[in-house]
Amino acid sequence: MVQRGFCGALIIALAASSLFAAPAASEPRVTGSSAIGVFLGQPTGISFRQGLGKGQSFEAKAAWNLAPSKGGFEATFQANWLGEFPGILTIEKADFPLYVGAGLQTDLGESASLGFRIPLGLLYRFVKVPLELCLELGLGMQVFPATTFIGSGGLGIRFRF
């Protein structure tokens, strides 16, 4: 009975130690797969990114204008699935993963619109501080209430946790 309890405790201890083990020297140290911050450009607002697995993430932006030229309130919301491609652009051992994705954009205000977008960007995750930068260009098409081309882009800075 004592021997079975000891073996069970040993297995649990080994499993727990593997969960908290330091990453190997070849593995990059990542602070977290979630990040929140600001996006400056079109639209200017808040940005949130959640890692979904190796090389994939979900990203959302919310922007608002409290004093548009026509009065009232305007808001823009974007939601994107992103695929990252690390190792394509490396400068002095620093990796700048390129990413491309697919998403939706809605604008609310005097009228409402809905469209799809294809974001293209460049990402940089700092090694010693939990920050990341992104430079993004998004092209797409509004499909409701009328069909028109849409574009967006800017610079984002997010805190990783």
CA distances from 116 to 9, 24, 108, 126, 142 (A): 53, 40, 15, 31, 6
Neighbour tally for 78: CB within 10 Å: 24
What pLDDT, in 10s, does the model give residues 53-93?
Answer: 889 999 999 999 876 776 778 999 999 999 999 999 998 88
32-160: which CATH topology? Porin (2.40.160)
How far apart are alpha carbons 76 and 113 in whole angstroms? 9
pLDDT at 134: 97
pLDDT exceeds cutoff 80 at 16: no
Residue 32 and residue 130 in contact, taking contact as beta carbons nearer than 8 Å: yes
Give the model's pLDDT for residue 32.
64
Better-scored residue on pLDDT, 26 or 72? 72
